[in-house]
C-alpha cells in the first residue's frame, strides 16, 4: 500500500494540466476577440450610416429653406463670387500643393470651420462636427 502524499505535493498541478488549461483559455480568448471585433465593426457601420443620414437631412433641410437650391460646391477660383461652400475645409493634414495660400494645416484640422455658418452652408443644420468623419477612418 502506497502512502498518500501530504502537504504541498498533493495540491500541485502537473505541467501537462497547466498547459491544457492555458490552451483552453487561449482558445476561448480567441473566440471572444473575434466576436468583439465583429461587434465593433457593426457598431462602426451603424454610426457611419447615421452620419450619412444626418448629412442627407442637412442637405434636404437646406434645399427646403433655400427654394430648392442646393448648397454651393465651388472651387477656390470662385470664392470671390461664392464665399460659402456646402462645407469649408479639407480632410488633409498637409498643405495642398495646388493651392499653397488657401489651405493650411490649421484649416485642415479646424473643426469649427465645418460648422461656422459664415463659411459652411450646412453648418447650421448639422451642429456636430463628428458627422463628417467615419469612425473607421484612421
The pLDDT tens digits for 22-56 are 999 999 999 999 899 899 989 999 999 999 999 99
Structure confidence by residue, pLDDT tens digits, 123-133: 888 888 888 88
C-alpha cell read off for 133: 468623419
For residues 137 and 125, give the distance between their C-alpha atoms in angstroms, rounded to a whole number: 23
CB 107 within 8 A of CB 89: yes
Query: How far is the C-alpha of 127 from the C-alpha of 125, rounded, in Å?
Result: 6
Contact indicator for 118, 106 with CB cutoff of 8 Å: no
pLDDT digits (tens, 9 = 90+) for 62-86: 999 988 888 877 665 555 666 677 7
Does position 94 have pLDDT exceeding 60, yes or no?
no
**In which residue are the cell numbers 498533493 written?**
10
**Cα(78)–Cα(74) distance, rounded to whole angstroms?**
6
**For residue 8, pLDDT beyond 60:** no
Polymer length of the chain: 138
State the pLDDT at residue 116. 80
Residue 126: C-alpha distances to residues 19, 51, 55, 59, 110 (Å):
56, 10, 7, 9, 16
Q: Compute the half-sphere exposure of residue 127: CA atoms within 13 Å on the CB side of its CA.
A: 3
Residue 77: predicted pLDDT: 56
**CB of 130 closer than 8 Å to CB of 71:** no
Amino acid at each position: 500500500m502506497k502512502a498518500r502524499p501530504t502537504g504541498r505535493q498533493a495540491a500541485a498541478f502537473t505541467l501537462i494540466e497547466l498547459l491544457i488549461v492555458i490552451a483552453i483559455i487561449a482558445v476561448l480568448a480567441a473566440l471572444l476577440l473575434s466576436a468583439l471585433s465583429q461587434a465593433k465593426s457593426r457598431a462602426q457601420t451603424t454610426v457611419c450610416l447615421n452620419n450619412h443620414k444626418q448629412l442627407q437631412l442637412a442637405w434636404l433641410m437646406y434645399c427646403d429653406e433655400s427654394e430648392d437650391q442646393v448648397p454651393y460646391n465651388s472651387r477656390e477660383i470662385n470664392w470671390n463670387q461664392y464665399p460659402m461652400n456646402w462645407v469649408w475645409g479639407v480632410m488633409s493634414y498637409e498643405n495642398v500643393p495646388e493651392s499653397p495660400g488657401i489651405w493650411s494645416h490649421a484649416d485642415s484640422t479646424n473643426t469649427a470651420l465645418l460648422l461656422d455658418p459664415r463659411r459652411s452652408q450646412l453648418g447650421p443644420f448639422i451642429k456636430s462636427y463628428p458627422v463628417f468623419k467615419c469612425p473607421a477612418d484612421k
